[in-house]
Each structure stands twice: as C-alpha cells, then as structure tokens.
C-alpha cells in the first residue's frame, strides 16, 4: 500500500505520521510531501528517515491513498490531479466538505456510504467531528430537533503561528501575531473569518457539516466558537433539544456503548472531561450529562477531544483503514 502524506511537515501532518506508526498502518511505501522549501528535508518514520518530495513527484508515483493536510487552496488544485491517476484522496481542509458530490465522513457514523468511486473524500472540521460522535447515536434514538453549541477551542487549531504567539506571550517576548489580540489570559470569540451573517466560518461549519454528516437538514444548529489559550484539545458545551423524551441513564448507556466515545461523568468525584487529559488520545470524552430543566426533552453535555488527533489526523487514517479493510482502494 503506497501512501502519500501531503503537508507532512505541518502540525496535522506530523500527527498523521505518529498515528500511522502507532496504528501499524499497512504502508509498503510512504511518500512525504510538502512545499517546495521543504523538498529534500528528511523526516523520521519508524526506523527510516524519508525525504520530502514535491507535489508533482508525488502524483507521478501514483499512491493508492493520499492524506491531505496542506490547506484548502492546495487541496482544490491538487486533489483532482491525484484522483485522475487513480489515487483516493482524503482531505482535511474545508475545500470539499460541502461539495454535493463529495462525502463528508466520520467512520463510526457514515463510512458505510463510501464506494470505490469516491476518489476525493472530505474529513470534517475538528469541532464538528467530536460533537457528532456524541450526538449521532442520540439522534438515532431520540431525533434531534435543535443544537446550541459553544466551543472552547485550542490555539493548536489555528496552527504553529498561534502556538508561537502564546509561547512568546508567556515568555514576554514580542513576536508575530496569529490573532488580532493577545491570547494569553484571554478568550477570543473569533475562530476563522466572519461571514456576512455575523457568524464565523468555524461556527457555520458546525451548522452545515452536522446536517450533512447526520443526513438531516431539519436539525437546527446555532454556534458560538471561542479560541482559548490551551495547547491542545477542543471543548464544547452542547445543548440538545430532542423530538422524544429520554431517561438520563439511557443516554449515559447509549454513549457508553458508542465506539470511540468515553463517558466521564461523576460529579461526586469531580469527574468530567478536560482538554489536559484528552490531549494525545483518540477518544471523544463526554460528561456533565444533565437534563435541561428549562425546556422539555432537552439535554446538556460537555464534549472534549484532541483536535489534532480524532479531530484531524486519526479520523483521516480511520477513513483510510476502512477503505483498505473493505477493499475500496
């Protein structure tokens, strides 16, 4: 199995290589791809040091699968070129997510919709993935009518420039700014750019992608996305209104039985999810599960996950594993 990692020197690309190694992914040849300035650089993988190559070279090598994490413009230009030579592309950017002809996949929820003809597959936004992982089994059981979500997102979701900004601020050093304001000791209600409706792109991703993944445009979603100075892991406060009533213990049992979801919910022992403990893990952690006493059939939850792993690299590799295991590549 010949695999290409596009954006191998970036934050998500580095985690992809780590996850490929951890999961003993069946790679016969690994092609590491990055921008022209990184071509020739050596990157360790298992017992080897592999050279970085350019996109043209990678296309000519015709990998069976290309894992993209190099930004939307690169994906729009190069994903079709890989698809033309028979490569199946799994793309981490927002470029293809809302394309009507492309599938938006969280393996535990909708991988069974994939076929051999799907040559460009979209990986959802990190904040969407962790939310739908917890909500999909509850939607199946109780039918979700409305979601109100507020996110508390790590600076790592912005990239290395944001990590450097926080580190500089902690050290009291002036440096390049990823955000229009300081992030240390602060919270910015501003993730991505603002759209004409006053919401940010990040907030609208939660709306549009949730409806697409759950295959239900009747679900009303409203979101507020906030950037906070944590080094890794996104957190979400989620309020869900169901069509049908539920029992709290049944909700906990459904989530407990959902692959990839871990319930951490015991107020007697102060047990609840936190990004400091989710960091470096692939699971989605759910806690503070409680009835919304202000509305009928409504529920509150707190959802936490590592945005670079299940929110990006791990979900991408799980899609690739599904394709291989089901002989779709």
- Among this protein's residues, is 234 annotated catalytic? yes
| Domains in the chain, number | 2
Tens of pLDDT along 5-24? 999 999 999 999 999 999 99
Q: Are both 188 and 299 inside the same structural domain?
A: yes
Residues 170, 119: one domain?
Answer: no
Domain that holds residue 131: 127-307
What is the rounded CA–CA span in Å between residue 173 and residue 191? 24
Is residue 297 within 8 Å of residue 321, measured between CB atoms? no
What integer pLDDT is reported at residue 70 of this predicted model? Answer: 94
94: left (phi over 0), alpha (psi -120 to 50) or beta: alpha
- pLDDT attached to residue 73: 95
From the candidates 139, 190, 191, 234, give the one annotated as an active-site residue.
234
pLDDT for 140: 98
Within this chain, do residues 60 and 201 fall inside the same structural domain, yes or no? no
pLDDT of 92: 96
In a shared domain, residues 145 and 283: yes
Q: Are residues 174 and 294 in the same domain?
A: yes
Are 163 and 298 part of one and the same domain? yes
Residues 144 and 220 in one domain: yes
Considering the domain architecture, whether residues 104 and 181 belong to the same structural domain is answered as no
- The CATH number for 32's domain is 3.40.50.720
Read off φ and ψ for residue 33, nearest 5 degrees.
-125, 135
pLDDT at 133: 98
User: What b/e string do you get for 3-14 counting C-beta neighbours within 10 Å, with b at 16 or more?
Assistant: bbbbbbbbbbbb
Whole-angstrom Cα distance, residue 180 to residue 120? 34
pLDDT tens by residue, 169-196: 999 999 999 999 999 999 999 999 999 9
**Predicted local confidence at residue 172, as pLDDT:** 96
pLDDT at 327: 96
- The verdict on 72 and 215 lying in the same domain is no
Edge-to-edge strand order for the sheet containing 284-291? 220-227, 144-153, 234-242, 298-305, 284-291, 261-263
In this structure, are 149 and 39 located in the same domain? no
Average pLDDT, the chain: 97
Q: What is the pLDDT of residue 230?
A: 95
The predicted pLDDT at position 135 comes to: 98
Cα separation, 249 vs 230, whole angstroms = 32
pLDDT band at 48 (very low <50, low <70, confident <90, very high): very high
Residues 6+ apart with CB under 8 A from 253: none
The predicted-structure confidence for 71-101, as pLDDT tens digits, reads as follows: 999 999 999 999 999 999 999 999 999 999 9
CATH of the domain at 190: 3.30.360.10
CA distance 328 to 80: 18
Identify the helix (H) or strand (E) that includes residue 64: none
**Does residue 158 sit in the same domain as residue 51?**
no
User: Are 74 and 133 contained in the same domain?
Assistant: no
Q: Cα–Cα distance between 286 and 302 in angstroms, integer?
A: 6
- Per-residue pLDDT band for 317 (boundaries 50, 70, 90) equals very high
- By three-state DSSP, how is residue 178 classified? coil
Placement of tokens 């209600």 in the chain: 189
Phi, psi (deg, nearest 5) at residue 77: -80, -40
Six-digit token string for 94: 């927002």
């Amino acid at each position: 199995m010949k695999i290409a990692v596009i954006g191998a020197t970036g934050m998500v690309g580095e985690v992809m290589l780590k996850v490929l190694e951890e999961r003993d992914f069946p790679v016969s040849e690994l092609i590491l791809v990055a921008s022209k300035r990184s071509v020739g650089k050596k990157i360790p993988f298992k017992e080897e040091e592999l050279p970085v190559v350019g996109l043209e070279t990678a296309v000519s090598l015709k990998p069976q699968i290309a894992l993209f994490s190099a930004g939307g413009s690169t994906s729009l230009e190069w994903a079709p070129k890989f698809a033309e030579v028979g490569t199946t592309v799994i793309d981490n950017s927002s470029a293809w997510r809302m394309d009507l002809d492309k599938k938006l996949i969280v393996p535990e929820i909708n991988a069974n919709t994939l076929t051999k003809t799907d040559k460009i597959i979209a990986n959802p936004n990190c904040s969407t993935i962790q939310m739908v992982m917890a909500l999909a089994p509850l939607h199946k059981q109780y039918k979700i009518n409305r979601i109100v979500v507020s996110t508390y997102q790590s600076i790592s979701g912005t990239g290395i420039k944001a990590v450097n900004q926080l580190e500089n601020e902690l050290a009291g050093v002036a440096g390049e700014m990823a955000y229009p304001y300081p992030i240390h000791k602060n919270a910015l209600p501003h993730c991505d750019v603002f759209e004409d409706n006053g919401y940010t792109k990040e907030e609208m991703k939660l709306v549009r992608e949730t409806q697409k993944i759950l295959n239900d445009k009747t679900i009303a979603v409203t979101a507020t996305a906030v950037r906070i100075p944590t080094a890794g892991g996104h957190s979400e406060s989620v309020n869900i209104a169901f069509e049908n009533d539920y029992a709290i213990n049944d909700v906990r049992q459904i989530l407990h039985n959902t692959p990839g979801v871990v319930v951490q919910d015991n107020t007697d022992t102060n047990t609840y999810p936190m990004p400091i403990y989710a960091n470096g893990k692939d699971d989605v952690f759910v806690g503070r599960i409680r009835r919304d006493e202000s509305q009928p059939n409504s529920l509150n939850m707190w959802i936490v996950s590592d945005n670079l792993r299940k929110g990006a690299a791990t979900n991408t590799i799980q899609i690739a594993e599904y394709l291989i295991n089901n002989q779709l590549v």
